[in-house]
Amino acid sequence: MGNSNILHLLKNSIIIAVVGASPKPGRDSGNIFRYLLNVGYKAYPVNPLYSDLFGYKCFENLTSLSKEVGEIDIVNIFRKSEDVEEVVDESIKVKSKSIWMQLGIINQLAAQKAIDAGLDVVMNKCILVEHRNLF
């Protein structure tokens, strides 16, 4: 996805699920979750290991988040590349609009599955870096 498409995606998204968000110090997932909130997105942490993240309800999975907030614009993934396909499957099931695999996360099969289901896909890019560069 090129810069103009990423800009369009970021401008037209409101709800972002941060899958794999962690409160552990130094983890990019927690820092990026807070950044997304600070720049005006409705960001929601998704991680079955926590009930709360920085004072925000943490959801067990995308299905439980979708039931509470409705349609998810971006599913921002902080999981190992080999674990992305299950996140994509659930994203398709809950009718998310797009998948964003963070920097260093590459899974061509999962990306193609998402594209085939009509989702936009960003892979191997940091949402924070892209947002800062474009806004």
> Span 26-55, mean pLDDT?
97
Global pTM reads 0.97
Q: Which amino acid is at 75?
A: V
Question: Structural domain tally of the chain?
Answer: 1
Residue 94: the pLDDT is 98
What is the per-residue pLDDT across 79-119, written as a single tens digit (0 to 9) for each?
A: 999 999 999 999 999 999 999 999 999 999 999 999 999 99
> Which domain covers residue 96, as residue numbers?
3-134
Secondary structure element (H or E) that encloses residue 53, with its range: strand 52-53
What is the pLDDT at residue 3?
Answer: 79
pLDDT band of residue 12 (cuts 50, 70, 90) is very high
**Which residues are CB-contacts of 5 (< 8 A; sequence separation ≥ 6)?**
120
What confidence score (pLDDT) does residue 117 get? 98
